[in-house]
Structure 1
Amino acid sequence: MIDFLVAHFNLVRGLHILSVIAFMAGMLYLPRLFVYHTKATPGSEMDETFKVMERRLLRGIINPASIATAVFGLGLILADSAIRGWSFLAEPWMATKLVALVGLYGWHGFLSASRKKFERGENVRSEKFWRITNEIPFVLAIVIVISVTTKFLNH
């Protein structure tokens, strides 16, 4: 298995990048849907439309893409460990990336729980809250990408 990952490192990396793009697109769009959903009258046709859109986005794009991102990311870690050992996991850039990933997946869980609250008509968050927090995934993505691409200029 590890030999396969090493031999196909660039393919795994490409699939990881594609899954990250899909994951991030959904993570940026779902809070935007929540912004507009806060304006819909509970029980209205618009309210029901947002519920369907949010559920399909989460279950059809965000969740599968988050799983693919994690699977391909773990594949890259395994391949990297076979190439240069496990020590890279302790480097500051990787620790920063992993902390930001915990934040991103935590935010994913928060959005999932929030979608269920919208579906039950129990949302207590304001339009302003969703507008402000809409940028959280992008800020975390910046931290992750800069960490990986610069490795804090150690190399």
Structure 2
Amino acid sequence: MLWVKALHIVFITSWFAGLFYLPRIFVNLAQETPGPTTERLLLMARKLYRFMTMLAVPAIVFGLVLTWLQYHSPEGMKLPGWLHAKLTFVVLALGYHHACGSLLKKFERGVNKRGHVFYRWFNEVPVLLLLAIVILVVVKPF
């Protein structure tokens, strides 16, 4: 179980690094006029999105294994309340990941309508998600 937990933490950390950085690229894209710099930023964003998607998959798989192990633990078949709340935030993180993919497609098609200020605020969402998840896992408030 400790190996699964360690791998889960490594992949979550790596995935969230991408969730922190991709919107920062969006800030730069929103400030740029079309040209070579924009093409380089789009290339970086595409590669980062693919890479962070590959990191999200094992993060979720290891998390599901941990949840399964918790469900089949000696304590019985009841999952604690904090875990339900954590899973809700994980689903929100997956939604944020998907939203990043949708925004990237808009930048690629040249139809982005939002400015850099929106993306600066959008960039703060994964920080709040990670904060909530870590507090729930460590403190286990309920």
Aligned to 2:134: 145
Could you tell me how far 1:151 is from its partner in structure 2? 0.8
- In structure 1, C-alpha distance between the alignment counterparts of 2:49 and 2:43, rounded to whole Å: 10
- In structure 2, C-alpha distance between the alignment counterparts of 1:126 and 1:41, rounded to whole Å: 12
Judge conservation of contact 2:31–2:115 (CA < 8 Å) in 1: no
**Cα deviation digits, residues 11-65 of structure 1 (max 9, x gap):** 00000000001110000000000001111112x00110011000000002x1011
Alignment of 1:3-152 (within 5 A): 9-42=1-34, 44-60=35-51, 62-83=52-73, 84-88=75-79, 91-152=80-141
Gaps of 5+ in 2: none
Moved over 4 A (4+): none
Gaps of 5+ in 1: 1-8
Give the TM-score normalised by structure 1. Answer: 0.87
Count, aligned residues: 141
